[in-house]
């Protein structure tokens, strides 16, 4: 297809830029400028920066390395106390060659609220700490000119109204299962030029049974005569093409004669080339993408991948890093986490209390690694209307951003919603989230809340940290009268025969003899095994208990790595080996020996 040259804008050497890779690999344009690296900053502990007109500044005294948060070592700051507000500054240059196109300033993630100023003028605001967003700054900049951008950040976690996940929102010290905070910019920042008629986004639906991709676009603007062209490529060769008038929500169909499926054992991906042409046929926008031909669906009490029954052997991944906190130190580190999990016998992960960056999903797609997408729901109060409003808008953006990734097979908006002040409003919130997921992405099952209270769900998930394998087996054995074991039977909807998964268990604390506790309050679930052999015995016993329960369709073990004081990972926090990985893989790499077609007991 025309217009798909790989020309790059001139930027500094990638070796001088942290996280130099393109941050959005499923919606990639050729021209862009990476703005990672040194910025100036100042803290605003009195939240008086607007009064002091800091938005007019042309620099601050502090120096920070973006995209790493100020709490992290990699930022060069390492401030661990609460930061209710702060300011960033950087001077940008807009290439003269971008004249005639709109200029977008993109942020991979800013926690939590931010407002942008360009040369002292307000240019946009955003709420939501874990989603990507863009500001159109065309009206504020001049091609060939240089400009001062200032970003005000507010992160009032102690108000308990904004989702913050496993960041400690109530106290200074990391404790229990909450850890070091993340404030401000924590993912890549970049500039790119886009035609006013270019693509805003696309929704790519793989239709395995019909052997086709359905590509549904949204445009930044539409003019008469404008068209969209799409092509699917395999091995660099076009295997399907389609073209049609540009219209928001009007899909193009890419039929495949002999579709190759995506699966963990064979993660084949098609490249997609998307072009927008004006009425004269001139290409005004070109985007590179990719897609996997795979189907995920629920039938009765079972989950199917590509129409074959799927047993999920997941691991809990919280996505924390010693040097970068929420931000991986490198793209290779994202890839390595997946490789470590697969090496330990898991076929996927529940991405826990954090929205992972798009590069992680890219590697999961490439490597054939199943994931569940989850929000950072902790830290907000779903019984509070303001909290619910903030959460719903952020979750909507999360689903839209990540719904094209074939590796992502389920949505889990909430986790352990056990505290209920207003039961009716609580149930309503669950159902609103379920409906929102289905409206935005009807192709995936929805787990309304991982563990604890369910209101409306396609997957029935429970958390059980019983350490004794015999007791765990007894608890998970369905009762003739009460049915399957549930966390909150008296407060949730009746079990309706959905696929039943133990999506948190284990969490066995183990600190190797050649290492010391991360902190004085280091912990894990249950008593620490007296020896490494006892650890393996307990772990195998727990997994055996789950595999032997005929109604259980999968599990999620807590967890992939230690995270600060929570030292119950399969690996150490620095990703080094903690245990004999061959023995670990022998335990987690098994499916149930002979699953039988038995119905599930219901209450």
Q: How far is CA 12 from the centre of its chain?
A: 29
Co-location of 272 and 356 in the same domain: no
Report the SS3 class of residue 546.
helix
Please write the tens of the pLDDT for every residue from 269-328. 999 999 999 999 999 999 999 999 999 999 999 999 999 999 999 999 999 999 999 999
Please write the tens of the pLDDT for every residue from 80-95. 999 999 999 999 999 9
**Can you list the positions of beta strands (E) in 137-257?**
146-154, 184-185, 189-194, 199-207, 212-219, 227-234, 237-245, 252-255
Sheet holding 500-506, edge to edge: 408-412, 370-374, 348-351, 312-317, 552-558, 500-506, 460-463
* CATH code, domain carrying 156: 2.60.120.260
Cα separation of 217 and 202, whole Å?
4
Q: Which residues contact 307 (CB under 8 A, 6 or more apart)?
A: 208, 209, 295
Co-location of 137 and 279 in the same domain: no
pLDDT band at 384 (very low <50, low <70, confident <90, very high): confident
Residue after which a domain boundary falls, among 264, 291, 318: 291
Q: Is residue 217 part of a domain?
A: yes
Supply the pLDDT for residue 421.
Answer: 81
Q: Is residue 1 part of a domain?
A: no
Please write the tens of the pLDDT for every residue from 411-440. 999 999 877 788 888 899 999 999 999 999
Residue after which a domain boundary falls, among 269, 291, 313: 291
Supply the pLDDT for residue 603.
Answer: 38
pLDDT band at 4 (very low <50, low <70, confident <90, very high): very low
Cα separation of 20 and 462, whole Å?
40
* CATH code, domain carrying 227: 2.60.40.10
Average pLDDT, the chain: 94
Supply the pLDDT for residue 16.
Answer: 84
pLDDT band at 167 (very low <50, low <70, confident <90, very high): very high
Co-location of 177 and 315 in the same domain: no
pLDDT band at 383 (very low <50, low <70, confident <90, very high): confident
Q: pLDDT higher for 3 or 134? A: 134
H or E segment and range at residue 388: helix 385-402
Cα separation of 269 and 26, whole Å?
11
Supply the pLDDT for residue 420.
Answer: 76
Residues 31-60 have a mean pLDDT of 98
Supply the pLDDT for residue 156.
Answer: 94
Please write the tens of the pLDDT for every residue from 322-373. 999 999 999 999 999 999 999 999 999 999 999 999 999 999 999 999 999 9
Co-location of 392 and 458 in the same domain: yes
pTM for the structure as a whole = 0.95
Cα separation of 368 and 34, whole Å?
28
Q: Is residue 203 part of a domain?
A: no
Q: pLDDT higher for 384 or 247? A: 247
Q: Is residue 478 part of a domain?
A: yes
**Number of neighbouring beta carbons within 10 Å of residue 3:** 15
Supply the pLDDT for residue 133.
Answer: 98
Report the SS3 class of residue 581.
helix
Residues 434-452 have a mean pLDDT of 97
Supply the pLDDT for residue 418.
Answer: 76
Co-location of 118 and 248 in the same domain: no
Cβ atoms of residues 505 and 464 within 8 Å: yes
Co-location of 401 and 537 in the same domain: yes
Cα separation of 549 and 552, whole Å?
6
Co-location of 156 and 215 in the same domain: no
* CATH code, domain carrying 528: 3.20.20.80
Co-location of 20 and 163 in the same domain: yes
Residues 101-110 have a mean pLDDT of 98
Q: Is residue 278 part of a domain?
A: yes
Q: Is residue 594 part of a domain?
A: no
To the nearest whole percent, how much of the chain has pLDDT over 90? 91
Co-location of 344 and 358 in the same domain: yes
pLDDT band at 381 (very low <50, low <70, confident <90, very high): confident
Cα separation of 272 and 286, whole Å?
11
Supply the pLDDT for residue 602.
Answer: 41
Whether 3 shows a pLDDT value over 70: the answer reads: no
**Can you list the positions of beta strands (E) in 356-478?**
370-374, 408-412, 414-415, 449-450, 460-463
Co-location of 579 and 502 in the same domain: yes
Co-location of 25 and 99 in the same domain: yes
pLDDT band at 593 (very low <50, low <70, confident <90, very high): confident
Please write the tens of the pLDDT for every residue from 502-554. 999 999 999 999 999 999 999 999 999 999 999 999 999 999 999 999 999 99
Q: Is residue 582 part of a domain?
A: yes
Cβ atoms of residues 427 and 392 within 8 Å: no
Cβ atoms of residues 137 and 150 within 8 Å: no
Cα separation of 478 and 514, whole Å?
42
H or E segment and range at residue 272: strand 270-277
Co-location of 433 and 548 in the same domain: yes
Of the candidates 354, 325, 321, 327, the one whose C-alpha atom is nearest the C-alpha of residue 340 is: 321
Structural domain tally of the chain? 3
Whether 108 shows a pLDDT value over 70: the answer reads: yes
Report the SS3 class of residue 430.
helix
Q: Is residue 602 part of a domain?
A: no
Whether 13 shows a pLDDT value over 70: the answer reads: no
Q: How far is CA 385 from CA 418, 419, 450, 592, in A?
A: 18, 15, 22, 44
Supply the pLDDT for residue 213.
Answer: 98
What are the residues facing 563 on neighbouring strands?
566
What domain range includes position 312?
A: 296-588
Residue after which a domain boundary falls, among 160, 194, 228: 194
Supply the pLDDT for residue 599.
Answer: 52
Q: How far is CA 486 from CA 354, 427, 482, 490, 491, in A?
A: 25, 17, 9, 9, 10
Cβ atoms of residues 30 and 302 within 8 Å: no
pLDDT band at 595 (very low <50, low <70, confident <90, very high): low
To the nearest whole percent, how much of the chain has pLDDT over 70? 96
Whether 160 shows a pLDDT value over 50: the answer reads: yes
| Region for 3 from its dihedrals, namely left if φ exceeds 0, alpha if ψ lies in -120 to 50, beta otherwise | left
pLDDT band at 51 (very low <50, low <70, confident <90, very high): very high
């Amino acid at each position: 297809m025309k217009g798909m040259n790989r020309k790059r804008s001139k930027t500094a050497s990638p070796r001088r830029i942290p996280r130099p890779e393109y941050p959005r690999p499923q919606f990639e344009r050729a021209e862009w400028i990476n703005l990672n690296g040194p910025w100036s900053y100042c803290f605003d502990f009195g939240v008086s920066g607007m009064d002091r007109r800091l938005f007019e500044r042309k620099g601050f005294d502090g120096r920070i390395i973006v995209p790493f948060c100020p709490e992290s070592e990699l930022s060069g700051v390492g401030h661990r106390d609460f930061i209710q507000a702060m300011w960033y500054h950087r001077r940008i240059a807009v290439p003269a060659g971008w004249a005639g196109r709109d200029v977008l300033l993109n942020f991979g993630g800013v926690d939590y609220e931010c407002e942008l100023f360009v040369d002292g003028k307000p240019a946009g605001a955003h709420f939501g700490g874990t989603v990507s967003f863009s500001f159109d700054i065309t009206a504020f900049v001049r091609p060939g000119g240089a400009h001062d951008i200032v970003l005000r950040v507010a992160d009032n976690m102690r108000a308990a109204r904004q989702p913050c996940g496993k960041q400690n929102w109530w106290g200074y010290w990391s404790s229990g299962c909450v850890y070091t905070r993340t404030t401000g910019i924590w993912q890549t920042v970049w500039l790119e030029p886009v035609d006013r008629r270019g693509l805003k986004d696309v929704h790519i639906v793989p239709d395995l049974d019909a052997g086709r991709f359905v590509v549904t676009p949204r445009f930044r603007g539409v003019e008469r005569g404008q068209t969209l062209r799409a092509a699917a490529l395999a091995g660099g060769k076009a295997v399907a093409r389609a073209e049609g008038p540009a219209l928001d929500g009007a899909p193009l169909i890419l039929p495949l004669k002999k579709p190759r499926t995506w699966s963990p054992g064979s993660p084949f991906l098609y490249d997609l080339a998307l072009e927008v042409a004006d009425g004269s046929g001139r290409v005004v926008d070109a985007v590179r993408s990719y897609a996997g031909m795979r189907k995920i669906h629920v039938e009765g009490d079972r989950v199917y991948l590509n129409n074959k029954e799927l047993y999920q052997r997941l691991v809990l991944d919280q996505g924390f890093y010693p040097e970068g906190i929420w931000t991986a130190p490198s793209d290779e580190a994202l890839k390595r986490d997946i490789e470590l999990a697969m090496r330990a016998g898991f076929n996927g992960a529940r991405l826990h209390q954090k929205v992972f960056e798009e590069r992680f999903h890219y590697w999961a797609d490439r490597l054939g690694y199943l994931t569940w997408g989850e929000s950072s729901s902790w830290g907000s109060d779903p019984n509070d209307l303001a909290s619910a409003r903030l959460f719903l808008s952020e979750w909507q953006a999360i689903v839209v951003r990540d719904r094209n990734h074939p590796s992502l097979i389920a949505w889990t908006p909430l986790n352990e919603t056990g505290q209920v002040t207003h039961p009716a409003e609580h149930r309503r919130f669950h159902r609103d989230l379920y409906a929102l997921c289905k409206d935005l992405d009807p192709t995936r099952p929805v787990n309304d809340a991982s563990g604890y209270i369910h209101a409306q769900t396609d997957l029935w998930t429970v958390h059980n940290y019983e350490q004794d394998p015999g007791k765990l087996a007894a608890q998970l054995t369905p009762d003739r009268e009460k049915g399957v074991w549930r966390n909150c039977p008296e407060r949730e909807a009746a079990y309706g025969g959905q696929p039943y998964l133990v999506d948190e268990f284990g969490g066995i604390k183990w600190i190797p003899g050649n290492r010391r506790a991360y902190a004085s309050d280091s912990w894990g679930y249950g008593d620490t095994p007296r020896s490494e052999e006892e650890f393996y015995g307990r772990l195998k016993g727990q997994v055996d208990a789950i595999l032997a329960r005929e109604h259980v369709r999968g599990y999620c073990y807590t967890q992939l790595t230690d995270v600060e004081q929570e030292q119950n990972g399969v690996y150490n926090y620095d990703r080094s080996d903690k245990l004999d990985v061959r023995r670990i893989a022998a335990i987690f790499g098994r499916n149930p020996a002979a699953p039988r077609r038995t119905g599930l007991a219901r209450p």
